[in-house]
Amino acid sequence: MSAYALPAQLTLWQRILFAVPLLGRMIKEVAYGPAENLYYAIATFVSLWGCSILLFGIPGLYLPALAMVPVIFTLLITITRG
């Protein structure tokens, strides 16, 4: 039994997202778990980014930021469309 209750019907995109082996569990915990799970997830991603910087150097710093460009671009388009 989990510590959070899922809705009876999940949308298709939620079922697909929650089915991803490693990230799905984290996203499910953040979405339906206690509020502090969001801060733990942010700390995890920042720590992983720091580890990539230590391991790969400058490319480890720039490549994750470069990968976020389409996400932010889509977010800006969504905001401007209302």
Q: What is the pTM of this model?
A: 0.63
Task: Note whether residue 1 is domain-resident.
Answer: no
pLDDT of 52 above 50: yes
pLDDT of 1 above 60: no
What is the extent of the structural domain holding 46?
12-81
Task: Note whether residue 4 is domain-resident.
Answer: no
Task: Note whether residue 34 is domain-resident.
Answer: yes
- What's the CA gap between 50 and 9, in Å, rounded? 38
Total domain count, the chain:
1
Mean pLDDT of the chain: 86
- What's the CA gap between 26 and 18, in Å, rounded? 9
Task: Note whether residue 25 is domain-resident.
Answer: yes
**Interval 50-73 mean pLDDT:** 93
Query: What digits encode the pLDDT tens for the residues 16-25?
Result: 888 888 888 8
